[in-house]
Amino acid sequence: MASASAGLRGPRFDPPEAAAVYGIGAWRNGRRIKCSRTQTIEDSVLATGFPFRDFSFAGQYMPMLDDGIKRARGVRRMGAAALDLSWTACGRYDGYWEMGLAPWDVAAGTLILREAGGTCTDMHKLDPWPIGGRVVAGNHAIERALHDMIAPHLAKPG
């Protein structure tokens, strides 16, 4: 037990820092990072987020999650899109998808991921940059495979 005068310390959640410079590359703790080389959903560990506040797309989302759980080696939920994208950039995750995000949720993580050789797109492939709040990300093979996995469950935009 700590006394009132003693300082308390605890572990930091994710101490390594990731950074990227457009057109130059991405680093984590000073070392260059690259996305995983995993080629299939069946060999991948995926990340996602769950609906928060806006549950209008939950009917689409739950079948996507069901497919991911059944097909991938694992599906994780961290709770922070920027961290999920950063972990995808350094290969901790092979792919990531989420709906209901704001641009500031994905801006930094998207840059880091793209500079690490990954792809981050809109689920409907409509926006040139995923500002619509519907993100699919990973290395090129996994990003395409995730699009194929979620497409049957996606409602048409509009």
CATH number of the domain bearing residue 76: 3.40.190.80
The answer as to whether 129 is a domain residue is: yes
CA dist list (Å): 128 to 119, 120, 123: 12, 10, 11
pLDDT mean over 132-157: 93
pLDDT at 141 over 70: yes
pLDDT on residue 127: 74
pLDDT in tens, 19-57: 888 999 998 888 999 999 999 999 999 999 987 777 777
Domain count, the chain: 1
The answer as to whether 123 is a domain residue is: yes
Q: What is the largest CA-CA distance in the chain?
A: 59
For residue 157, the 8-state DSSP code is P
Q: Which residue has the higher pLDDT, 51 or 14?
A: 51
Any known ligand binding at 14? no
Q: Which residue has the higher pLDDT, 104 or 6?
A: 104
Residue 65's nearest CA partner among 153, 156, 157 is 153
- Could you give the 3-state DSSP secondary structure of residue 46? strand
| Separation CA 17–CA 129 (nearest Å) | 24
The answer as to whether 58 is a domain residue is: yes
Quote the percentage of the chain above a pLDDT of 70. 87
The answer as to whether 54 is a domain residue is: yes
Q: Which domain holds residue 41?
A: 34-153
The answer as to whether 21 is a domain residue is: no
Alpha helices in the chain (DSSP H): 58-71, 81-89, 103-115, 140-150
pLDDT in tens, 95-111: 999 998 888 889 999 99
Intra-chain end-to-end CA distance of the chain, in Å? 56
The answer as to whether 71 is a domain residue is: yes
pLDDT at 8 over 50: no
The answer as to whether 20 is a domain residue is: no
The answer as to whether 15 is a domain residue is: no
- Asked whether the beta carbons of 138 and 119 are under 8 A apart, the reply is yes
